[in-house]
Amino acid sequence: MSYKAINLAQKFGLLTEQWQPKVIAEMNDYQFKIVKLEGDFIWHDHKDTDETFIVMEGTLRIDFRDGAVHIGPGEMFVVPKGVEHKPYAEREVKLMLIEPRGVKNTGEEVGERTAANDVWI
Amino acid sequence: MSYKAINLAQKFGLLTEQWQPKVIAEMNDYQFKIVKLEGDFIWHDHKDTDETFIVMEGTLRIDFRDGAVHIGPGEMFVVPKGVEHKPYAEREVKLMLIEPRGVKNTGEEVGERTAANDVWI
């Protein structure tokens, strides 16, 4: 049988829009998603799950109510469930998200930043 | 509060031995582990879970009973649960593993490659 690795750079090359996460792989009921971000996201949380950010290019800032974390290329951070956070990117950032299938990017909030879910690339 | 990203290169710099995965982060009941490999692993499978490999440096080959996959830097692959596989690295490979907490590196097999579990770095 023929097996093929998933090349992240090749997958990022297929992304045309910012703020639209696309699924590239699944592990059990978790999904690996890639996304390009630039500018401000909204405050939100995920009541039932942690959320992992792994940055490939650029620097992502995630604001919390009591601080912030800067995540640069080759760095990762896990936002604990229930913790309000707001991603921000001064310049475009490429990153991978890991979270359970079905998690909405904006949590309970719905707005212009809410993206279609479970779209593969 | 002070929040700090996990720097993968810095964590790899702390690894002293090959074949000894160390935990660097948790997301719900999943763990992110880093490991350096070189040479041959054993045939094994994980009956209850998929297992994700993300390669940082070098090229990992994973043999299956009916083929193989080569995973280079910036590439990933998810081995489905129950599928027998045997990792192999001609030269040292640095990679990240993602799998549920408690999964043994050698699956049901136990031998000289079986590593201590749940050791953080």
Q: What is the pLDDT of residues B77-103, one digit of tens each?
A: 999 999 999 999 999 999 999 999 988
Query: Would you state the pLDDT for residue B1?
Result: 81
**Neighboring chain B residues of A27 at a CB cutoff of 8 Å:** 50-52, 78, 98-99
Closest CB to A27: pick one of B26, B28, B78.
B78
Q: B34 to chain A nearest CA, in Å?
A: 13
pLDDT for residue A111 is more than 90: no
| Angle of CA points B15, B95, B90, to nearest 5° | 95
Q: Please tell me the predicted confidence (pLDDT) of residue A89.
A: 98
* Token digits of residue A77: 């951070």
CATH of region B17-100, choose from 1.10.3720.10, 2.60.120.10, 2.60.120.260, 1.20.1440.230: 2.60.120.10
User: Which chain B residues are within 8 Å of A78, Cβ to Cβ?
Assistant: 25-27
Cβ-based contacts of A69 with chain B (< 8 Å): 3-5
Nearest Cβ partner of B1 from A51, A66, A75? A66
Mutation site for B-interface testing, chosen from A4, A53, A63, A78 by largest number of B Cβ within 10 Å = A78
User: Does domain A28-114+117-121 fall into CATH 2.60.120.10?
Assistant: yes
What is the DSSP secondary structure assignment for residue A5, as one 8-state letter?
A: P
Name the closest residue on chain B to residue A75, using Cα atoms: B7
Element (H, E) at B86: strand B85-100
CB contact under 8 A, B6 and A76: yes
pLDDT of residue B107: 87
pTM: 0.96
d(CA A14, CA B32): 27
Strand partners, B26: B31
Q: What is the pLDDT of residues A64-90, one digit of tens each?
A: 999 999 999 999 999 999 999 999 999
